[in-house]
A and B are shown apart, each in its own frame.
Chain A
């Protein structure tokens, strides 16, 4: 079974400061990890993914995430937050070895990011 935990319901950060949104995961095999963002009344927008290779992955809108296998974490980061980054952020995982034809994503409950001007 695969699972994702996002320990913070809300993260507040001042504009211009670095931001971190935390995610930890649990899978039986190797993980595929994803971050999505949801703006009000919009669908989930893909930000970035980790499949293999470099532990630091870069994505859209200046976001990046660091994969840490020993800590089973995949925290989302951005060096300088913008007010427009305020949204709901979801971490998701798929187990590489979940079986042929199994491509379902398991999501965390989401973290609301508020960037304060």
Chain B
């Protein structure tokens, strides 16, 4: 069964450093998403991406964040200058379409900012 994959599973970085989180969505899916979950809190929407551009973003997704689909398979989330409060589990998701289709989630990348 096709699945969303994410790398790395755990990333440790120093405050102020740039990190790139990588995702490979399901191959025939057209919509891509990033969510995050700070420990003990809700899963929160960050951004959605379709047709090579951001279709929606939350207030969390400020200028420090960017997304890219550099080739036909990868979808990346970049945090330009990490802060302590960026420590969280980051989930990538994809869906066939943006309507009523369910989103399929990857296993997550745990980001720890020291």
Kindly name the residue among A44, A46, A92 whose own CB sees the greatest number of chain B CB atoms within 10 A. Answer: A44
Residues A103 and B43 in contact, CB atoms below 8 Å apart: no
Nearest CB on B from A110, distance (A): 8
10 CB contacts below 8 A, A to B, read A43-B91, A43-B108, A44-B105, A92-B43, A101-B50, A102-B55, A103-B99, A103-B103, A109-B42, A110-B42
> Other than the known A101-B48, A101-B50, what 8 A-B pairs have Cβ atoms closer than 8 Å?
A43-B6, A45-B105, A101-B56, A105-B35, A105-B45, A106-B45, A107-B43, A108-B42
**B103 nearest in chain A by CB position:** A105
- Residue in contact with A49 in the complex, picked from B35, B43, B100, CB distance below 8 Å: B100
Say yes or no: A43-B107 contact (C-beta < 8 A), given A104-B48, A107-B43: yes
Using Cβ atoms and an 8 Å threshold, which residues of chain A touch B107?
Answer: 41-43
Q: Which are the 7 A-B pairs with shortest beta-carbon distances?
A: A104-B45, A44-B105, A107-B43, A103-B98, A43-B107, A43-B105, A101-B55
Using Cβ atoms and an 8 Å threshold, which residues of chain B touch A104?
Answer: 33, 45, 48, 56, 58
Residues A46 and B55 in contact, CB atoms below 8 Å apart: no
Using Cβ atoms and an 8 Å threshold, which residues of chain B touch A103?
Answer: 31, 33, 48, 55-56, 95, 98-99, 103
Chain B contacts with A in 13-68, Cβ cutoff 8 A: 31, 33, 35, 41-45, 48, 50, 55-56, 58
Using Cβ atoms and an 8 Å threshold, which residues of chain B touch A49?
Answer: 100, 102
Using Cβ atoms and an 8 Å threshold, which residues of chain B touch A34?
Answer: 102
- Residue in contact with A109 in the complex, picked from B41, B99, B108, CB distance below 8 Å: B41
Residues B100 and A44 in contact, CB atoms below 8 Å apart: no
Interface residue range, chain B: 20 to 34
A contact residues, total (Cβ < 8 Å): 23
Q: How far is the CA of A43 from the CA of B107 in the complex (A)?
A: 4
Using Cβ atoms and an 8 Å threshold, which residues of chain A touch B93?
Answer: 44
* Interface check A83, CB cutoff 8 A: no
Q: How far is the CA of A100 from the CA of B4 in the complex (A)?
A: 25
**B44 nearest in chain A by CB position:** A107
**B104 nearest in chain A by CB position:** A46
Residues B4 and A43 in contact, CB atoms below 8 Å apart: yes
* Interface check A116, CB cutoff 8 A: no
